[in-house]
């Protein structure tokens, strides 16, 4: 049996190693157009930021080690430029000398990945515009950053607020660069809803990122004298820097598959069945280039992440060797570090659920990372998206510090198990004061959702407040006087929780009371108290803190400070 | 409706607060014999160790705050000394003045907790022997430790290696005490199997704990002149110290329930149904005093942990208020900090599965906490216990540093969902280099188990090696020559993995090859390679590292150093 693998990073390299473990006799050829295989794709930004300082650490396996350990014929700096499906051969070009040759296969695995999107804008080919996808890209960006740092010209513009954009911005900031990040829409990170992204916006701004939302870049103008580039936007602003990182996303790199006539899906991704087999039974495809099922909706989706790519590589190898393995879809679990903050998501966002036409509700809870009496606890904001009827957990997003990655993995597992909010209540998680609370943040999300679902308390959200204010609704803030004085919902009356029982008469019993506290816990207690006195109530999910966070985010955009941009007027 | 709650800590306090939230009109009386309610039970050892320095932080709620916020009649320093089930009254004694009175109830919730076991040994009542269960205990121990530290007499003996014993030892060590820990059996922590406990033993010893296993204490001899106590053991040793912490376990504190004629179970725990109702329908019981179902086996069990206690308190309140809540059993998820180490467990240990008569196998895997190319990664040892036939996950134990608590919570969730090893392979967990690997340690456990279950590789364990040696088995060590030289299984030949393909002929093809490397990964690759050349193989689960760990632990016990103990001879 002879297997040719196109692409030697996550999915391809995993497939190669698994193939060898399954079949000592197979002939395995792995062809990679860059100079590196099985490299640390997700670690590249940290090399630019001097967090990873040893170049060799970026390559988990060298072509040599791969050959020695797995007896795999690794060919780097070679590119497969054509597939002859009838003859079962690929045409390979040696990028060193331009020579070409044919290679036969019994099975072919395509793992071409995705390529950085490069829009057709004036000046896009300027050498100061760098992307971050390959090891070579990384070395180039690192070299440029080093040069600029040496010259004291520490200014950069990052275009795009996805994972790579934010990680690049963070790493440049850590190196002392002034960084402006331009984002097309109203929030960074497509894995988050707008409200949760506001957590990231506020934190990033506090840590020195010049974040500009709703900025559509329309071109680049070079100034060779200053060795700078002006990034121009549709709004007429210009941002000058000697280094521009282009990170507006990736798109499946499937020209080869397309030319071979394989069935393509979303954004020309490769269509595969659950065994990772393409429309040609001898050809498999894995990784960022393939169309997968969204595990939650069952819909076709594109999910570019290392975890699924690795699993798919393993599955393709299994199937080629006659094992019954299959990929049941991806739920897009992801996590991002931004300085000390951790931002994580799994399953559907609220907006994704709405787009998919799935009825959904949400609960925003604020929970400490561990017992508050043990030093070092910090709060995390958990947004849990659920199906109101069944209570099924559809997705979750968490922003915070310690322990965010833990809770998202627990929630990811509950989604995989198709668990409900009632199941979250019952999860038996490990508790000791340095690690958690007796009621873990995941349990808390379950409690809150079940309180809502069983009618114990009604809730409203930050985006209901403006409408309620217009309707002249009755707002009650049960925080302390000091907290209230530092900011509150316009029109709210303040009765601290511990005084409420004696002051119920101050409220109009004929109208619903819209109650808030800081995070939603005291106001829940207040709602139950008032309900016991016959008043209709609603609890502000996420509390005043979350409401104010989103308000401030919107206000930030309306009064831009433009410390670095030069408005054209 | 009038509810009387006996005991105001985890389960009782939770029940009280939930009752109030469910019923604003209910009369709720909470009676607590200590001076504190809703205190930070699990935080007490950290107050002794000056990790928690603010006394007030130990009490999450004061009687006053409980009264104000929840309108609950909190009575501290009062003890319920009798229940008249026919009349539905309890007899209460005021511990301040000795007066007694009756209190009626519609529903009664018993949350008496468990009490520290105090064996009937000579000298057990000595004032230098302290336990750690209540806030008062904690203040007493803290005061004694402070006095001794001031006098420069920093010696302590801790009896018992469960959670409290280890936490007490750690906190005293952190304060500069010399600490001897005496453990009756061959390992600390009943939540672990012996082999996994060896991880704790080795680490604790490295960090200065004088750990003595298989030590049965038989008495205490006071020396008033030196203000010291001699702890004597059955083996004839004596350990001298001015402070002895007795932490050999807890037992349900159910005298009240017993005298009231309620049905009792294991160790006189209170029998309850899944709604936390005792054999008297007007009486509920929650927390450490009740008998629960082991979630994995379905058998009756005693599980003293704060998480289940809190959930049970909530459920009892729900049921009293007519809501349909139930407790589906506990899987005993737990986590312990020991300096920088984290030790966690969930579900069944191997020995517990054997005791329960459940067929089980195990996989010991060593995985990095996060991508090894990103700074700060450390390895964790994961022991996963599974049902061979179905692949169902029965339990897991993990010892390591960063990220141990995360993986145990994910595994706890998979056990709750009754998932199998094949499900572990497919878990879609959040990956970025600072947090995990594209193949998370939990995925890895799934991969290894499925490789075993599907016959891709056979495995043997550390405890098979001695027998195999006696049988003259063929051992192969595929680590590098340097690793091999630093220690190896007696009788093993060394062929480094990367040379193995060319040196297969050095092995006897007629006999099974028992292969090991450091942790089990390279040896797995070797097994597959050899299988491809027609040899029968078996992989040493957990590798040489785990084998040597257990060997060293056993050797440690055979050659005691006795730096502090005074052997009587």
Beta bridge partners of A380: A367
The yes-or-no verdict on residue A111 having pLDDT over 60 is yes
Query: Tokens 């579900």 belong to which residue?
Result: B347
Q: Which residues 325-384 in chain A show a CB within 8 A of chain B? A: 328, 330-337, 342, 344-346, 371-375
| Contact check, Cβ <8 Å, B333/A428 | yes
Rounded CA gap, B508 and B467, in Å? 19
| Contact check, Cβ <8 Å, A335/B431 | yes
Q: Contacts of residue A310 in chain B, CB cutoff 8 Å?
A: 438-439
Per the CATH hierarchy, to which homologous superfamily does domain B340-453 belong? FAD/NAD(P)-binding domain (3.50.50.60)
CB of B64 within 8 A of CB of B39? no
* Active-site choice (A42, A198, A517, A527): A42
| Contact check, Cβ <8 Å, B428/A331 | yes
**Candidate from A21, A25, A428 with C-beta closest to B331:** A428
Q: Contacts of residue B51 in chain A, CB cutoff 8 Å?
A: 374-375
Q: How far is CA A221 from CA A125, A241, A306, B51, B332, in A?
A: 11, 11, 35, 58, 63
**Candidate from A334, A335, A427 with C-beta closest to B412:** A427
Q: Which two tokens stand for residue B340?
A: 């920088």
Q: Which residues 148-167 in chain B show a CB within 8 A of chain A? A: 163
Report pLDDT for B557.
Answer: 62
Report pLDDT for A38.
Answer: 85
Spell out the CATH class of B459-541.
alpha beta
Residue A566 — pLDDT band, cuts 50, 70, 90?
very low
Residue A406: closest C-alpha in chain B: B406
Q: How far is A197 from chain B (nearest CA, A)?
A: 18
Per the CATH hierarchy, to which homologous superfamily does domain B2-114+251-320 belong? FAD/NAD(P)-binding domain (3.50.50.60)
Region class of B374: left (phi > 0), else alpha (psi between -120 and 50), else beta:
beta
CB neighbour list of residue B511: distance below 8 Å, 6 or more residues apart: B473, B474, B536
What is the sign, positive or negative, of the torsion defined by CA atoms of B215, B220, B223, B226? positive
CB of A461 within 8 A of CB of A540? yes
Chain center to CA of A495: 40
CB neighbour list of residue B142: distance below 8 Å, 6 or more residues apart: B47, B48
Report pLDDT for A60.
Answer: 74
Chosen for mutation from A54, A375, A413 (greatest number of chain B CBs closer than 10 Å) is A413
Q: Contacts of residue B431 in chain A, CB cutoff 8 Å?
A: 42, 305-307, 333-335
The CATH architecture one would assign to domain A459-555 is: 3-Layer(aba) Sandwich (3.40)
How do residues B194-236 score in pLDDT, each as one tens digit?
999 999 999 999 999 999 999 999 999 999 899 999 999 999 9
Rounded CA gap, A370 and A402, in Å? 9
How do residues B474-487 score in pLDDT, each as one tens digit?
999 999 999 999 99
3-state secondary structure (DSSP) of residue A422:
helix
CB neighbour list of residue B200: distance below 8 Å, 6 or more residues apart: B166, B187, B188, B189, B192, B338, B341, B343, B399
Q: Contacts of residue B426 in chain A, CB cutoff 8 Å?
A: 311, 328, 416
Chosen for mutation from B113, B295, B375, B432 (greatest number of chain A CBs closer than 10 Å) is B432
Residue A39: closest C-alpha in chain B: B373
| Contact check, Cβ <8 Å, A69/B498 | yes
Rounded CA gap, B30 and B72, in Å? 7
CATH, domain A2-113+251-320, list 3.40.50.360, 3.20.20.105, 3.40.50.1100, 3.50.50.60: 3.50.50.60
Q: Which residues of B are catalytic?
A: 42
Rounded CA gap, A116 and A95, in Å? 20
B129-248 has the same fold as B2-114+251-320: yes
Q: How far is CA A323 from CA A18, A309, A317, A517, B71, in A?
A: 12, 18, 9, 56, 64
For the domain covering B129-248, report its CATH number. 3.50.50.60
| Contact check, Cβ <8 Å, B371/A43 | yes
Residue A22: closest C-alpha in chain B: B528
| Contact check, Cβ <8 Å, A428/B295 | yes
| Contact check, Cβ <8 Å, A426/B456 | no
Report pLDDT for A557.
Answer: 62
How do residues A270-291 score in pLDDT, each as one tens digit?
999 999 999 999 999 999 999 9
Specify the length of chain A in residues.
569
**Candidate from B410, B428, B528 with C-beta closest to A21:** B528
The yes-or-no verdict on residue A363 having pLDDT over 50 is yes
CB of B377 within 8 A of CB of B369? yes
The yes-or-no verdict on residue A514 having pLDDT over 50 is yes
3-state secondary structure (DSSP) of residue B422:
helix
What is the secondary structure of B184-227 as a DSSP string?
SSSSS-TTS-HHHHHHHHHHHHHTT-EEE-S--EEEEEEETTTT
Q: pLDDT below 70 — which residues of chain B? A: 557-569
Q: How many CB atoms lie within 10 A of CB A65?
A: 15
Residue A450: closest C-alpha in chain B: B325
CB neighbour list of residue B65: distance below 8 Å, 6 or more residues apart: A498
Q: How far is A178 from chain B (nearest CA, A)?
A: 24
How do residues A439-464 score in pLDDT, each as one tens digit?
999 999 999 999 999 999 999 999 99
Is any Cβ of chain B less than 8 angstroms from the Cβ of A454? yes
Chosen for mutation from B430, B436, B454, B535 (greatest number of chain A CBs closer than 10 Å) is B430
Q: Contacts of residue A288 in chain B, CB cutoff 8 Å?
A: none
Specify the length of chain B in residues.
569
Chosen for mutation from B167, B191, B438 (greatest number of chain A CBs closer than 10 Å) is B438
End-to-end Cα distance, chain B: 68
| Contact check, Cβ <8 Å, B371/A528 | no
Residue A497: closest C-alpha in chain B: B69
Total-model pTM: 0.96
Report pLDDT for B560.
Answer: 45
Residue A61 — pLDDT band, cuts 50, 70, 90?
confident
**Candidate from B10, B372, B406 with C-beta closest to A406:** B406
User: Comparing C-alpha atoms, which of B546, B476, B542, B545 is closest to residue B512?
Assistant: B476
The yes-or-no verdict on residue A244 having pLDDT over 50 is yes
Structural domain boundaries in chain A: 2-113+251-320, 129-248, 340-453, 459-555
Q: Contacts of residue B331 in chain A, CB cutoff 8 Å?
A: 428
Which strand (E) or helix (H) includes residue B235?
A: none
Residue A65 — pLDDT band, cuts 50, 70, 90?
confident
| Contact check, Cβ <8 Å, B335/A25 | no
Beta bridge partners of B109: B5, B284
CB of A407 within 8 A of CB of A400? no
3-state secondary structure (DSSP) of residue B535:
coil
**Candidate from A405, A432, A501 with C-beta closest to B406:** A405
ipTM of the complex: 0.96
Residue B294: closest C-alpha in chain A: A428
Q: How far is CA B6 from CA A452, B77, B545, B562, in A?
A: 30, 12, 50, 46
């Amino acid at each position: 049996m002879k297997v040719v693998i196109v692409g030697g990073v996550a999915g391809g390299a995993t497939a190669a190693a698994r193939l060898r473990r399954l079949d000592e006799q197979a002939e395995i050829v792995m062809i990679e157009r860059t100079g590196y295989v099985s490299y640390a794709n997700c670690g590249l930004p940290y090399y630019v930021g001097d967090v990873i300082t040893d170049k060799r650490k970026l390559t988990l396996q060298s072509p040599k080690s791969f050959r020695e350990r797995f007896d795999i014929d690794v060919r780097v700096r070679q590119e497969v430029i054509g597939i002859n499906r009838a003859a079962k051969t690929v045409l390979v070009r040696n990028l060193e000398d331009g020579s070409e040759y044919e290679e036969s296969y019994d099975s072919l695995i395509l793992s071409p990945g995705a390529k950085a999107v490069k829009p057709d804008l004036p000046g896009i080919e300027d050498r100061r515009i760098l992307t971050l996808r390959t090891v070579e890209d990384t070395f180039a960006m690192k070299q440029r950053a080093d040069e600029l740092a040496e010259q004291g010209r520490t200014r950069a513009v990052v275009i795009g607020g996805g994972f790579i954009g934010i990680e690049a911005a963070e790493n440049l900031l850590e190196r002392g660069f002034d960084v402006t990040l331009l984002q097309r829409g109203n929030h960074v990170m497509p894995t988050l809803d707008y409200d949760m992204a506001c957590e990231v916006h506020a934190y990033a701004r506090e840590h020195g990122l010049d974040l500009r939302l709703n900025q559509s870049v329309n071109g680049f103008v070079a100034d060779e004298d200053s060795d700078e580039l002006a990034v121009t936007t549709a709004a007429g602003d210009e941002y000058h820097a000697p280094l521009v990182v282009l990170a507006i996303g990736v798109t499946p790199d499937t020209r080869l598959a397309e030319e071979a006539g394989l069935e393509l899906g979303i954004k020309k991704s490769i269509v595969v069945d659950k065994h990772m087999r393409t429309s040609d039974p001898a050809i498999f495809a894995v990784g960022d280039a393939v169309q997968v099922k969204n595990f939650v909706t069952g819909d076709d989706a594109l999910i570019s992440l290392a975890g699924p790519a690795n699993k798919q590589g393993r599955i393709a190898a299994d199937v080629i060797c006659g094992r019954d393995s299959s990929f049941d879809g991806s739920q897009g679990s992801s996590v991002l570090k931004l300085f000390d903050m951790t931002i994580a998501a799994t399953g559907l966002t609220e907006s994704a659920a709405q787009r998919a036409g799935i009825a959904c509700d949400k609960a925003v809870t604020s929970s400490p990372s561990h017992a508050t009496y043990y030093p070092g606890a910090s709060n995390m904001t958990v947004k849990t998206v659920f199906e109101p009827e069944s209570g099924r957990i559809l997705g979750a997003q968490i922003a915070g510090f310690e322990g965010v990655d833990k809770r998202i993995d627990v929630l990811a597992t509950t989604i995989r198990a198709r668990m409900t909010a009632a199941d979250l209540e019952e999860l038996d998680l490990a508790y000791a004061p340095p690690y958690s609370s007796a009621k873990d943040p995941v349990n808390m999300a379950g409690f809150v959702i079940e309180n809502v679902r069983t009618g114990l308390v009604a809730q409203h959200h930050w985006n209901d407040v403006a409408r309620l204010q217009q309707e002249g609704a009755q707002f009650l803030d049960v925080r302390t006087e000091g907290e209230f004085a530092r900011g509150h919902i316009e029109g709210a009356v303040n009765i601290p929780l511990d005084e409420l029982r004696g002051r119920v008469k101050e409220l109009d019993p004929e109208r619903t009371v819209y109650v808030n506290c800081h995070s939603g816990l005291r106001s829940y207690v207040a709602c139950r108290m008032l309900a016991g006195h016959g008043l209709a109530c609603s609890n502000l999910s996420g509390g005043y803190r979350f409401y104010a966070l989103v308000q401030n985010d919107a206000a930030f955009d309306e009064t831009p400070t433009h410390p670095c941009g030069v408005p054209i007027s």
